């Protein structure tokens, strides 16, 4: 571990503490789970039903600029933090990049809060707790099983509510808990003399960064769940959310069974397909 950045002057040079190894395993398992889900979608989900495509302008230019700027900062912070921790490449430069991107993230977060306070965008982060658990269960079931059957999305994005219940809770936790904590721990790492907790703050900062990495992986994958893999990404380019009037068609039982039998040729997927087959036939 390098000894340039703030708290690392007082931190033991341990590249791979045990907790970080466990965290790496969690990240790897998540990536494997996403790959398995993607393969099952490809094998089982029917093609998108026909119908006229409609567009709703849901994402203003300010929101899109903030989103892409925030995404770029997250990537730069993760890479520079990784390079700095393992002393890869020009460490001094990586430390500078990490520091300046951290201050930029602070500015972006303040801008996010101000946008939500002064515009209607803030309503999308106000949780309606009535029936929340039921809505979350519906959304979870769709992600795990409904999408395999070609069901319509249970919570379509609208001008009144852009997020489904799981998205809303996740974005709320990320933007009003994770990001502020990352900024605070980052500042206390940069200036360890303020609180005298440099090593503790550094470990906490790294743990929060890994949680952020898990969110980014899940977020990128879920963005491929539109009618086409690039449909949702496109909405963050031009601001238009696209949807079709006709819901996704559901394959006839015979066609679904044929897909199951064909997919069983892949021995590694057999157990997963058996599980999904039971879920799709037993769940309403």
Our CA dihedral for 246, 247, 253, 256, rounded to 10 degrees, sits at 110
pLDDT, the chain, mean:
82
Number of helical (H) and strand (E) elements in the chain, helices listed first: 11, 2
Looking at the chain, the whole-number percentage of residues with pLDDT higher than 90 is: 48
pLDDT at residue 247 greater than cutoff 80 = no
Mean pLDDT over 240-251 rounds to: 62
Q: Which domain covers residue 99, as residue numbers?
A: 6-15+53-246
The answer to the question of residue 133 being in a domain is yes
Mean pLDDT over 98-116 rounds to: 95
Q: Which phi and psi angles does 48 have, rounded to 5°?
A: -60, 135
pLDDT, tens digit, 9 for 90 and up, residues 155-193 = 888 888 899 999 999 999 999 999 999 999 999 988 888
The answer to the question of residue 208 being in a domain is yes
Cα 168 to Cα 191: distance, rounded to the nearest angstrom: 34
The answer to the question of residue 135 being in a domain is yes
Measured CA to CA in angstroms, residue 221 lies from 197, 225, 255 at distances of 36, 7, 27
Please report the pLDDT score of residue 3 as a whole number. 44
**Beta-strand (E) ranges in the chain?**
53-57, 240-244
Q: Tell which residue, 170, 212, 199, has the closest CA to residue 82.
A: 212
Please report the pLDDT score of residue 276 as a whole number. 56
Cα 59 to Cα 238: distance, rounded to the nearest angstrom: 8
Please report the pLDDT score of residue 279 as a whole number. 57
pLDDT, tens digit, 9 for 90 and up, residues 69-97 = 999 999 999 999 988 888 888 888 999 99
The answer to the question of residue 188 being in a domain is yes
The answer to the question of residue 189 being in a domain is yes
Mean pLDDT over 55-68 rounds to: 90
284 C-beta neighbours (distance < 10 Å), count: 3
Return the ∠ at Cα 191 (arms to 185 and 192), rounded to 5°: 80
**CATH value at residue 93:** 1.20.950.20
Please report the pLDDT score of residue 253 as a whole number. 44
pLDDT, tens digit, 9 for 90 and up, residues 119-162 = 888 899 999 999 999 999 999 999 998 988 888 889 888 888 89
Residue 14 is classified by DSSP as -
Please report the pLDDT score of residue 278 as a whole number. 55
Statement: the pTM of the whole predicted model exceeds 0.85: no
Residue 177 is classified by DSSP as I
Number of domains in the chain: 1
Please report the pLDDT score of residue 194 as a whole number. 82
Please report the pLDDT score of residue 274 as a whole number. 60
Cα 154 to Cα 134: distance, rounded to the nearest angstrom: 12
pLDDT at residue 103 greater than cutoff 70 = yes
List of residues 6+ apart from 200 with CB closer than 8 A: none
Q: How confident is the model at residue 254 (pLDDT cuts 50, 70, 90)?
A: very low
Residue 269 is classified by DSSP as G
Question: Of 8-17, 19-28, 155-164, which range is least confident?
Answer: 8-17
The answer to the question of residue 282 being in a domain is no
Who wins on pLDDT, 210 or 252? 210
The answer to the question of residue 23 being in a domain is no
Question: Of 22-26, 229-233, 250-254, which range is least confident?
Answer: 250-254
């Amino acid at each position: 571990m390098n000894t340039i950045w703030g708290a690392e002057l007082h931190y033991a040079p341990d590249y791979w503490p045990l907790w970080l190894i466990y965290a790496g395993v969690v990240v790897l398992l998540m990536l494997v789970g996403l790959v398995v889900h993607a393969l099952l979608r490809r094998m089982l989900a029917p093609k998108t039903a026909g119908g006229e495509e409609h567009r709703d302008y849901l994402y203003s230019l300010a929101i899109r600029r903030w989103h892409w700027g925030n995404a770029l900062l997250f990537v730069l912070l993760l890479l520079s933090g990784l390079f700095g921790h393992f002393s890869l490449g020009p460490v001094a430069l990586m430390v500078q990049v990490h520091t300046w991107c951290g201050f930029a993230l602070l500015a972006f977060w303040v801008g996010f809060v101000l946008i939500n306070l002064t515009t209607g965008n803030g309503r999308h982060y106000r949780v309606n707790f009535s029936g929340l658990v039921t809505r979350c269960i519906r959304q979870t079931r769709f992600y795990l099983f409904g999408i395999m059957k070609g069901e319509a999305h249970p919570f379509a994005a609208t001008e009144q509510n852009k997020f489904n219940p799981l998205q809303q809770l996740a974005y709320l936790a990320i933007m009003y808990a994770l990001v502020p904590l990352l900024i605070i721990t980052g500042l206390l790492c940069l200036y360890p003399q303020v609180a005298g907790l440099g090593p503790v703050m550094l470990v906490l900062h790294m743990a929060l960064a890994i949680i952020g990495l898990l969110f980014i992986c899940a977020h990128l994958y879920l963005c491929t769940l539109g009618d086409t893999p690039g449909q949702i990404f496109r909405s963050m380019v031009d601001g238009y959310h696209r949807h079709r009037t006709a819901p996704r068609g559901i394959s006839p039982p015979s066609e679904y069974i044929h897909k199951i039998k064909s997919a069983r040729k892949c021995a590694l997927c057999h157990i997963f397909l058996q599980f999904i087959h039971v879920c799709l036939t037993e769940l309403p």
